[in-house]
Structure 1
Amino acid sequence: MVTAQRRPASLTPLDAALAAVLRDLAPVEPIELPLADALHCIAAEMPALRTYPPHDVAVGDGWAMRANDLVGASSYAPLPLAALPVWVEAGAAMPDGTDCVVDADAVDASGPLPQVLAEAVPGQGVRRAGSDIAAGRAVIAAGEPLLPRGLLLARAAGLALVRVRRPRLRIVNIGNGKLTAQLTADTACLAGAEVVPAEAAPDATAIVSALDAAGCDLIITIGGTGVGHADAAVNALATRGALIAHGIALQPGRTTAVGRIEATPVIALPGAPDQAFAAWWAIALPVLDRLSGRRPRTTLALPLERKIASGVGIAEVVLLARRQDHWAVLAIGDLSLEAIARAEALLIVPGGAEGFAAGRLVDAYMLRE
């Protein structure tokens, strides 16, 4: 028979729980990945790129010429040529001695001698060498996520592999937490993690077996952290490793637990989507960011449209949406799925604050980077 988890006698402050699980945690070692697999991963130190394009190229189709040779040419004073100039297609290397591309109709080849009917300036219709990528430029700064535009630079520079830090995250779904487990997995992938899903019955023995730290950098469990008769995740964590805290001063997400199995951090999230979402942003994501070596996440400072009231001693998660030049409050503490889907930013009111007054400038984490 499974022993029910007892309700924590007191709640651990959010800052203390986070500091404890982050202690001595270092970024994972960089690996090399093909560009197709590196999207959203966090960049490690990158080699310096070569100049791109490596030489001047034509921007569009036309005649490659030298601008100084065309001074004074017009339809009223055509400039005769000894021979037709070189025709270039868009993207082709510019021939030696040329520095501009003129349109097809700027050269009249109907008579015995071709004639130029227009002037040009140096660089017209030409993309200069190094104008897309300067020599010595990196694909992206270390600690930043690799987005499609960064991968565009890598492909243009001819790279086949990029160096990234991609923590391996095991997500153990306990019982009926499939909706929450999928939300967590999707969010973790966007944060640059490699997700390894696992399932465990709501039974202490099964959960202990699923808490396998081999080959992973972070373990997340979903469900089984409450006080029900089948809530055995916290007991299993204490059996398999070390329980740091169970019961965090966080609303929603009070039944979250944190611990370690040897050096691998373990975060036990509640099964309810809103509670897991809050605890993910408050605890799990900072841990994942530390493992990936990510730079601080993007925030946006705007004044609050209305007052936020919060209980002292409990950190509360607030969902926000941008309304003109203010933050509009969508939800405080009690987060509906609709509010989670609509939210543009997230604010965590510290446990030592009673809230924020209307008009107060607050920094909120952007949910839509």
Structure 2
Amino acid sequence: MSEHSPGGAPAAPRDTTALDLRSGATVDAPAPAVHATAAIDPGRVPPPRPAPEPEPVLRSVEAHLDEILAAVPQPEPIELAVLDAQGLLCAEEVVSARALPAFDQAALDGYAVRAEDVVDAAPDAPVELAVVGETVAGAAGLTSLAPGLAQKVAAGAMLPAGADVVVPAVWTDGGVVRVQVHAGPAAGSYVRRAGDDVSPGTAAVHVGMPIGPAQISLLAAVGRDRVLVRPRPRVAVLSAGSELVDITTQPAPGQVVDVNTYALAAAARDAGASAYRWGILPTERRRLTEVLESQLLRSDLVLIAGTHAAEGDLVQEVLAELGPMRFRQVTMHPGAVQGFGRLGRDQVPVICVPGEPVAALVSFEVFVRPAIRSMLGKRQLFRRTVQAISAERLVSPLGYRQYLHGQVMRHPDGGYVVEPLGDGEEALLARMARANCLIVLDEDVTEVAEGGLVTVMPLLLGG
């Protein structure tokens, strides 16, 4: 993905639901032209410098997304206890000082023997060996095994020297003093050799590897109780609007319950962030400034939901006092009005999304979720998409990317079929709660016939 920079070549249109990581390449500015002063004609009036081209009234989804992704930082790695690191990316090469396993051991319950002693064993001609003992996991057992002998072993038990194969118990008669072997596996079968998993001096867990249960198991095995990881970004979630009341308050006529801070905080946590719900922003200027300044100090990203007026909006004015903050019309529906800036002493990214709850969550999926995953160091920033057959005719405004809630399901004949919920004009929370996907109609698409193919973004939790 190329970075969006004013004055640069425009990027080719892309589907943001299938974007990859940006390349990170930078373009050096051309060196200024040097003029010899002796060659300048003092009587010649230099031509006027052309005025910079005004920014387009409408901004593409890609341009707004590029600006956000280019600005969000990746927090410095921190060291956590291995259980607290679950779900994060490893930020170090964890080199093992131990061999895993530390000794040759049996891979299953059976008898440790020499392969040459049982090579001729068969069901109709079993080989009989003397059993010289039994070893369970955690016990040292015999130090060596002589030819013609067998040692009963449990899975994980140390293998005696001289034994090079474990005969599964089901391939024997289970004898205690003497055992009859009905099949002879090849040398090395059902044996875990020392260092088979990890040898000393090699990396057990690599940089960028997601830490899940298997990685935690490996870290514990090599003796690491703490590990360096990419931390969860701290995201503060706030709502703006004089009409808002908290969920514990009975709304009066004209008032609405603040659902955005709850929904967006939950979405941020699902994306992997450590989200903090502050609540409704105050409407008094001094208090509003204090709240915003405090959130900039404690957060890696600030997310504000609200319907902002074009002029005279107090929240916009206070944000502008804290740094360059711009609100733009973006070619998407719902959620055409979007804001972004880097504010405060630490240039903390601030993303403003619409106050209408459906538009707020759609905007989160398009802009905020990829930003959080970028801060986590994830390589896959965007939800995977599928092509599905539309169960109904769909319409979309020309020049706008439309996001419709729908239900996608497997088609009996293979592939997927998707059914839109509502017509895109109604903003119903219940409709959004029933949806399991977003149907994406690009800017140049005005109609999709019933049975036509559409791009679908499944909304999987944690996906």
Counterparts of 1:67 and 1:246 in 2: how far apart (Å)?
A: 75
Q: 1:58 to 1:40 in 2, by over 3 A?
A: same
Match runs of 1:292-311 below 5 Å? 292-296=376-380, 297-306=382-391, 307-311=393-397
- Tell me the residue number matched to 1:364: 457
Do structure 1's residue 354 and structure 2's residue 446 form an aligned pair? yes
> Counterpart of 2:273?
193
Q: Which amino acid aligns with 2:67?
A: A
Q: Give the TM-score normalised by the residue count of structure 2.
A: 0.65
Matches within 5 A, 1:234-273: 234-262=316-344, 263-273=347-357
Aligned residue number for residue 326 of structure 1: 416
* 1:200-215 correspondence to structure 2 within 5 Å: 200-205=280-285, 206-211=287-292, 212-215=295-298
Amino acid at match of 1:290: S
Counterparts of 1:51 and 1:329 in 2: how far apart (Å)?
Answer: 54
Alpha-carbon offset, residue 70 of structure 1? 1.9
Aligned: 1:220 with 2:306: no
Query: Once the two structures are superposed, what CA deviation does each residue of 1:6-34 show, in whole Å capped at 9, x if it has no partner?
Result: xxxx6544333323333444422222222
User: For residue 314 of structure 1, what is the aligned residue in structure 2?
Assistant: 400
The CA deviation at 1:155 is 3.9
In structure 1, distance between residues paired with 2:207 and 2:409: 29
What is the CA-CA distance between 1:317 and the residue it aligns to?
Answer: 1.5
Q: Secondary structure at the match of 1:83?
A: strand
Secondary structure at the counterpart of residue 317 of structure 1? strand
Q: Please identify, of 77-86 and 258-267, the stretch whose mean Cα deviation from structure 2 is larger.
A: 77-86
Structure 1 stretch displaced more, 190-199 or 171-180: 171-180
Structure 1 residues 34 and 336 mapped into 2: Cα distance closer, same or farther (>3 Å)? farther
For the 8 Å contact 2:441–2:455, the answer to whether it is kept is no
Summarize deviations over 1:90-131 as a string: whole Å, max 9, x none.
Answer: 223333222214318634235xxx233333313444345566
Aligned counterpart, 1:6: none
Please, what TM-score do these two structures have when normalized by structure 1?
A: 0.79
In structure 1, the residue corresponding to 2:297 is in which secondary structure?
Answer: coil
Q: How far apart, CA to CA, are the structure 1 residues paired with 2:397 and 2:265?
A: 31
- Report the CA distance between 1:204 and its aligned residue: 4.5
Quote the offset at 1:312 in angstroms: 1.8
Partner of 2:180: 116
Counterpart Cα distance in 1 of 2:314 and 2:83: 40
Q: Which amino acid aligns with 1:169?
A: V
| Superposed displacement of residue 277, structure 1 | 0.8
- Range moving further from structure 2, 228-237 or 337-346: 228-237
Distance apart, 1:244 and its partner CA: 1.6
Distance 2:394 2:90 in 1: 37
Q: Is the 8 A contact 1:203 1:230 kept in 2?
A: no
Q: Deviations over 1:39-69 (max 9, x none)?
A: 3324435435676434443233333223322
Task: Tell me how far 1:328 sits from its aligned partner.
Answer: 0.4
- Counterpart CA distance in 1 for 2:239 and 2:199 is 47
Q: Is the 8 A contact 2:109 2:155 kept in 1?
A: yes
Partner of 1:87: 152
Matching residue of 1:53 = 101
- Per-residue displacement from partner, 1:266-287 (whole Å, max 9, x unpaired)? 1123344322210101111222
Runs of 4+ in structure 1 off by over 6 angstroms are 228-231
Distance in structure 2 (CA, Å) of the matches to 1:259 and 1:179: 24
TM-aligned CA distance change 1:235 to 1:327, over 3 Å:
farther
Alpha-carbon shift at residue 75 of structure 1 (Å): 7.3
The alpha-carbon deviation at position 213 of structure 1 amounts to 1.3
Cα offset for 1:157? 4.4
Indicate yes or no: 2:189 matched with 1:96.
no
Q: Does 1:163 align with 2:247?
A: no
Quickly say closer, same or farther: Cα 1:348–1:362, change in 2 above 3 A.
closer
Provide the identity percentage.
26
Cα 1:80/1:172, change in 2 over 3 Å: same
Shift of 1:261: 0.7
2:374 equivalent to 1:290: yes
Could you tell me which residue of structure 1 aligns to residue 69 of structure 2?
Answer: 22
Unaligned runs of 5+ in 2: 1-56, 134-149, 247-256
Structure 2 distance, partners of 1:270, 1:194, is: 22
Q: 1:218: Cα distance to partner?
A: 0.6
Query: Greater CA deviation, 26-35 or 297-306?
Result: 297-306
Distance 1:77 1:101, change over 3 A: closer
Q: 1:323 to 1:246 in 2, by over 3 A?
A: same
Q: Which amino acid aligns with 1:244?
A: R
Distance 1:322 1:77, change over 3 A: closer
Q: 1:40–1:189: 8 Å Cα contact kept in structure 2?
A: no
What amino acid is the match of 1:328? V
> Alpha carbons of 1:96 and 1:245: their partners in 2 closer, same or farther (altered >3 Å)?
farther
Deviation at 1:310, TM superposition (A): 1.4
Check the 8 A contact 1:246/1:256 in 2, yes or no.
Answer: yes
Shift of the alpha carbon at 1:229?
A: 12
Deviations 1:128-160 (A, max 9, x none): 556656885664662x65444444444444432
